[in-house]
Structure 1
Amino acid sequence: MNQETKQKSVVFALLIATFLTAIEGTIVSTAMPKIVEDLGGSELYTWVISVYLLAIVISTPVFGKLADLFGRKIMFTIGVSIFLAGSMLSGLSQSMEQLVLFRLIQGIGAGALTTLPFTIIGDVFTFEMRAKMQGWMSSVWGIAGIAGPLAGGFIVDTVSWHWIFYMNLPFGIVSLFLLWTSLKENIEKKKRKIDYSGIFTFAVSITAFLYALTLLKEQNHVTGGILTLLIVAAVGISLFLWIESRVEEPMLPLSLFKIRFITISTIAGFLLGFILVAITFYIPLWVQGVTGLNATLSGVTMLPMSITWPLAAVLSGKLMAKTSIGRITVMGISVIAAGCLGLVLFNENTIVPLMMIVTAMIGFGFGLSLTAFTVAVQSSVEWKVRGAAMGTFNLMRNLGQSIGIAVSGLWLSDQLSGHVLEESLHTVFMILVVLALCAIVTAGMLLGEKGGQLSLN
C-alpha cells in the first residue's frame, strides 16, 4: 500500500459508508407501515426487506473478489454509486413493485459497503491497529441501531418516507469523495478474467435457496415447490464449487479454506450469525408477546446490546496484543452462551432490567468474538486475496442469519402470545445454547494461535 494514503480521511469515509449500511435496515423497517399506507401492495411488505438482504448476500463475495482484481477504490466507487442510485429510485417509487425492484438495486450496492470497508482496513492498517478500527466500526453499528428507529420515525412523521432514501445521497457522495482523494493503491495493469460462470451459478443457487427458506418460514412445512428450489440450490452449489476449482480467477478461491484461521472463522461466523438474528427477532417478541409489555420497552430491552458490543470490540482490540485470538473468541462466545442460557431461564414475570442484563452480556460477547474473527480473516491473507477472504467471511455470517430466521421460525408457534409462545421461544433459546456451545468448540481450535503470527503489511 502506497504511503501517501491519508489514513484518517479513509477511516472517516469508511465510517460514513458503514453507517449508511447499518442504519438502512432499521430506518426502513420503521417507515414500512407508512410506505404501505401510501403505495398499497401489503402482500409485498416483507419483500421490500427480503430482496434487499438477498442482494447483499449475493453481491458481497462478488464485490470482494472484484476488489482483488481491479482494486478497492474503483469497486467501492461502483458499489456506492449503485447504492445511491437504488436509494434515489426507491425514494421516487410510485408502487410497491417499483420499490421492491429498486431495493434490489440498492442491495446490490450495499454488498460493497458491507465488505469493502473491512478489506480496506486490512490493507491500510497494521495488525495492531486493525482491531482498534473494528471497534470504531462496531460503534457505528451500535449508534445506527439506536438512531435508526428514532430517525425513521422522525422523518416519516415530520417530512415524508421518501426522505429516508434521499438522505443517503449527501452522505454517500462525501464518503466517495474522501475515499477517492485519500486512498492510494498501486494496481498491476494486466488483463483480468472475471468469473462470470461462477457469479451466475452462485446467484441462481443462493436465490433459490433463500427463496425456499422464505417459503418454508411462511408455510412451516416442506412443499413440492420448496423441495424443487432446494434441489436447484444443491445442484447449483455443486456446479459452482466445480467451476471454482477450475477457473483461473475464481470468485471464491477454494484455497482460502486451507488457511486454518479462515476456515474456523467462517464456520464460527455462520453459527454466530444464526444466534444473532434469532436474538434480534425473538427477544422483542418475548417482551411483547409473553411479558405483555409495549414495543417501546422491547426496544429498551435490546438497547444494552448496542452499547456493550462496541465497548467489547475496543477491548478485543487491546487484548489481541496480549493474548491469542483463540482465547479471546472462546471468552466472547462463552459470554454469549451464558446469555443464551439466561434466555432459557426467562419467564412471564421476568422484569425488564434482568432482560437488559442478558442482552448486555450477549452484546459484549459478540463484540469480543466477531471483532477477533474479523481481524483474523483480514490478517491471515495477503492483499491480492483479502477482498475474497472478507467477502467469504461476511457471506457465511449473512447466510447464518438467513438460515437462522427461517429454521428457528419452524419452532415458533402460530399463536404469538401467552404460554404457547413462551414454550416455543424456550425451545428456540435452548437451540441457541447448543449452537453457542458448538461455536465455542469451533473457536477452541484456535487456542494457542498467536495474533502476532498474522501481522501482515
Structure 2
Amino acid sequence: MNKIQEKRSIRAFMLSNVMAGLEGSIVATALPAMMAELHGIKLMSWVVTIYMLLMAVSSPIWTKLAERFEYKQMFVLGTLLFTIGSLGEGLAINMLMVIVARALMGLGAGVMIQLPFVIYGMMYQADERRRVIGNTVAAYSFSTIAGPIVGGLIVTLLDWRWVFFINIPIGIYMAFIVWKNFDLKTDHTKKSIDFAGSASLSIAVIAIMLHFQMMGNAVINLPLLLILLVVSFLFFIGFYFAEKRAVDPIVPLELFKNPSFIAKNIMFFMQYGFFGFYTNYLPTWGQGVMGATALVGGMVLIPSAIMLVIGTRNVNHLIQKVGEKKTIYIGFSIMVLGAIFLFSLPEHASIMMLFVATAILGTAFGIVNITLQVAVQESVAKHLIGAATAVNALLRTMGTTLVLSGLSIALNRTFTEATAHNPKLTTTLLNQISDAKALKNIPVNLIAPLRHTLFNGMHLLALISGLLLFIALFVNWLDPWKKGLE
C-alpha cells in the first residue's frame, strides 16, 4: 500500500464515520413521516434503539473477526450490510421491515465506526495517530450535528425514503475504495471463534442497556426491569467463564488486570455520559426554557463541533509541553468550567450563553477524547490493541446510554413533583413547551411556570452530569499512566 492508496483509504474510513454518525441523528427527522405512512408509532423507539444496540454490541465481535479474516474484508462486509440495510429501510412497507433493516444498519455501523480506530492503532505512532483520530472524531461530530439539518432538507424536498437511499451509492463507493486501495499486513492465526463469549456478551449488554433505557420511561414496568437485570447478570457471569476457557477470547480478561486501561475506560465512561447530557439536553434547554425556535436550538451545538476541531488540532502540542496526564487534567478542568457555567446560568439568560457553553465543552471534549483514545491503545500490548479499542467503544456507548437513562429518571421526577404541586401543569404541556409551534396551544398564564419547571430540571441534570467530571478527575489522579509492553 503506497502513500496515495493510504490517503484514499483513510478518507474512506473518515467517510464511514460520517455516514454512521449521520445515520444515528438524521433518522429523527424522518420518523414523523415514517410513522404517518407506516402506522408504527408504538414501535417508533425501536427504530433508534435497535441501531444503537447492535452497533454497540457488534464492535468487539467485528474486531475479533477482522483479526482472523483480515481488516479489509470485514470492513467491506460491514459497509455492504449497512448499504443493504439502507436499501431495505428505504423500500420498507411496514414497521417490521424497518426494524429488521435498522438492525442490519446497526451491525454494519459497528464496523464502520469501530474498525478504523483499530486500524489507526496498528498503522500509526502516537502523534500521527492522534492527528488522524482527531480528524475522524471531528468528522463524526459534525455529521451527528448536521444530521437533523440534512434530514429536514431531504424530507422537505424529496421524501423520507431518500434519507436512506442516499446511503447506497456512497456505501458502494466507499467499499470499492477500501477494497481497491487498503492493505494492512498482519499476522493472522486461524484460532477457533469464541462463539460462547460473543453470544453471552451480546445478550448481557443488550439486556442491561434495555434495562436502563426503560428505567427512563415515564411509566416503569418493574417485572420486566427485574427480568432484564437478572438476564444481564447471568449472562455476564456466563461471559466471564466463557472467556476463561476460550482459546482466543473476544475480550481477553488480562485487559481487566491492567489498572491504567481500567482507569482510562472509567474516564471515557464519565466523559461520554456528560457528552450525552449536553448534546441531547442543551437544544431542549434553548427551546423549552429560552423560547428559541427548533432551528436555533439545533444550532446551539455547532460551536461545540467547531471548537472540538480546534481542541483536537492542539492536542499534540499540549502533550509535548505538559505530558498526557496533565493534558487530561486540563481537558477535564475546562469541561468542569463549562458545567459550572451552565449550572450558574439564570433562568432568563440569553440563548447566546448556550453557544458559549457548547464552545467551551467542545474544546475540552476534543482535548480529552483524542488523548484518551490513543492512551487506551498505548496502555496495552500491541497484540491487544484491537480488543482494547473494541471494549473502549462499547463502554463509551454504554456510558452515553446509561447516563442518559439516569438523567431521564431525574427529569421525570422533577416533572412529577411540579405537576403534584400545580395540577394545571401536565406532562403533555411540559412536552409541548420545547416546541415553538406548540406554544399557541398552551395557555399564556402557564408558559412561565412550565419554563420554570423545565429550567429546574435542566439545572438538576447539569449538576448530576458535572459530578461525573469530578469523578473522572479523581480517576485520572489514581491512574498510573503506564504504557503497554509486548
TM bin, normalised by shorter chain, reads over 0.9
- CA deviations 1:134-154 (Å, max 9, x no partner) are 221122123313432221111
**More displaced stretch, 61-70 vs 386-395:** 61-70
Q: Provide the C-alpha distance between the structure 2 equivalents of 1:220 and 1:263, rounded to a whole number of angstroms.
A: 35
2:439 counterpart residue number:
none
Name structure 2 gaps, 5 residues minimum. Answer: 416-426, 431-449
Instruction: State the AA in 2 paired with 1:55.
Output: L
Aligned counterpart, 2:93: 94
| 2:229 pairs with 1:230 | yes
AA in 1 matched with 2:457: S
Q: How does 1:256-267 map to 2 (within 5 A)?
A: 256-267=255-266
Cα distance in structure 2, aligned partners of 1:302 and 1:235:
40
Following superposition, the deviation at residue 403 of structure 1 comes to 0.4
TM-fit CA distance, 1:3: 7.0
Contact 2:261–2:376, Cα closer than 8 Å, also in 1: yes
Aligned to 1:209: 208
1:229 and 1:89 mapped to 2: Cα distance?
30
Write the letter of the residue equivalent to 1:198: G
Question: Larger relative contact order (C-alpha < 8 A, sep ≥ 6)?
Answer: 1
Deviates more, 1:11-20 or 1:343-352: 343-352
2:453 to 384, 404, 420: 420
* Contact kept? 1:325, 1:446, Cα under 8 Å: no
Question: Are 1:356 and 2:333 an aligned pair?
Answer: no
Q: What letter corresponds to residue 471 of structure 2 in structure 1?
A: C
Shift of 1:29: 1.1
Normalising by structure 2, report the TM-score: 0.88
Percent identity of the aligned residues?
28
Q: How does 1:74-113 map to 2 (within 5 A)?
A: 74-113=73-112
Compared CA separation, residues 273 and 220, structure 1 to 2 (3 A): farther
State the alpha-carbon separation in 2 of the partners of residues 123 and 131 from structure 1. Answer: 13
Q: Distance in 1 between matches of 2:305 and 2:456?
A: 27
* Secondary structure class of the residue paired with 1:351: coil
Paired residue for 2:126?
A: 127
Q: What residue identity is the alignment partner of 2:12?
A: A
Q: 1:232-286: CA deviations, max 9, x gaps?
A: 1111112212211221111111112333442222111111121111111211121
For residue 383 of structure 1, report the CA deviation from its aligned partner.
4.6
Deviation at 1:382, TM superposition (A): 4.6
Offset of 1:82 from its aligned partner?
A: 1.2
Q: Kindly indicate whether the alpha-carbon contact (under 8 Å) linking 1:215 and 1:226 is maintained by their aligned counterparts in 2.
A: yes
**More displaced 10-residue stretch of structure 1: 170-179 or 45-54:** 170-179
Contact persistence 2:213–2:402 (CA under 8 A): no
TM-score between both structures, scaled by the size of structure 1 = 0.93
Alpha-carbon distance in 1 for matches of 2:259, 2:169: 41
Please identify, of 258-267 and 242-251, the stretch whose mean Cα deviation from structure 2 is larger. Answer: 258-267
1:280 maps to 2:279: yes
> Helix, strand or coil: the match of 2:184?
coil
Matches within 5 A, 1:265-344: 265-344=264-343
8 Å contact from structure 2 (residues 212, 402) kept in 1: yes
Q: Which moved more, 1:329-338 or 1:382-391?
A: 382-391
Q: Secondary structure at the match of 2:322?
A: coil
Instruction: Give, as a single letter, the amino acid of the residue that structure 1 aligns with 2:341.
Output: G
Greater alpha carbon shift after TM alignment, 289-298 vs 360-369: 289-298
Q: Which residue of 2 aligns with 1:437?
A: 470
Which amino acid is the alignment partner of residue 90 of structure 2? G
Equivalent residue number for residue 35 of structure 1: 34
Distance 1:165 1:277 in 2: 25
Q: Distance in 1 between matches of 2:62 and 2:4?
A: 22
Tell me if the contact between 1:70 and 1:187 (Cα under 8 Å) persists in the aligned partners: no
Q: Secondary structure at the match of 1:245?
A: helix
Matched residues, number: 452
Partners of 1:303 and 1:5 lie apart in 2 by 32
* 2:407 paired residue number: 408
Instruction: Check conservation: 1:118, 1:378, Cα contact below 8 A.
Output: no
In the TM superposition, residue 455 of structure 1 has moved relative to its aligned partner by 10
CA-to-partner distance for each residue in 1:397-422, whole Å, 9 max, x for gaps?
Answer: 00001101111111113443422222
SS of the aligned residue for 1:160 comes to: coil
Give, in angstroms, the shift of residue 33 of structure 1.
Answer: 1.2
SS in 2 for 1:218: coil
Q: Which amino acid aligns with 1:353?
A: M
Contact map agreement 1:220 1:410 (CA 8 A) in 2: no
Instruction: Give the drift of 1:189.
Output: 5.4
CA contact (8 A) 1:339 1:362 kept: yes
Match for residue 437 of structure 2?
none
For structure 1, list consecutive stretches of 5 or more residues without a partner in the other structure.
none
* 2:253 is aligned with 1:254: yes
Query: Distance in 2 between the 1:150 and 1:224 partners?
Result: 40
AA partner of residue 271 (structure 2): L
Deviations 1:281-316 (A, max 9, x none): 211121222222221221122221111112111111
Instruction: Quote the residue 1:390 is aligned against.
Output: 389
Q: 1:242 to 1:423 in 2, by over 3 A?
A: same
- Structure 1 pair 334/347, CA: closer, same or farther in 2 (3 Å)? same
Q: CA deviation at 1:65?
A: 2.1
Is the Cα–Cα contact under 8 Å of residues 70 and 188 in structure 2 kept in the other structure?
A: no
Decide whether aligned partners of structure 1 residues 146 and 214 sit closer, same or farther in structure 2, where only a CA change above 3 A counts: closer
Distance 1:146 1:411 in 2: 25
Taking structure 1 as reference, are residues 323 and 174 closer, same or farther at Cα in structure 2, changes over 3 Å only?
Answer: farther
CA contact (8 A) 2:92 2:98 kept: yes
Partner of 1:366: 365
Separation in 2 of the partners of 1:166 and 1:367? 32
Please give the alpha-carbon distance, in whole angstroms, between the structure 1 residues aligned to 2:188 and 2:147: 42
Q: Given the superposition, is the C-alpha separation of residues 71 and 133 from structure 1 closer, same or farther in structure 2, using an over 3 Å criterion?
A: same
Secondary structure of 1:358's aligned partner? helix
Q: Quick check: 147-156 or 2-11, which moved more?
A: 2-11
Bigger mean CA deviation after superposition, 220-229 or 79-88: 220-229
Query: Aligned equivalents of 1:284 and 1:158: distance in 2?
Result: 24
Bigger-Rg structure (1/2)? 2
The answer to whether the 8 A contact 2:292-2:351 is kept is: no
C-alpha deviations, 1:142-200, integer Å up to 9, x for none?
A: 33134322211111111111111111122222222222222223344543211101111
In structure 2, what is the Cα distance between the partners aligned to 1:227 and 1:315?
47
Question: 153-162 or 414-423, which moves further after superposition?
Answer: 414-423
Which residue of structure 2 aligns with residue 158 of structure 1? Answer: 157
Per-residue displacement from partner, 1:68-126 (whole Å, max 9, x unpaired)?
Answer: 22221121122111111111111111112211121011101111111101111112222
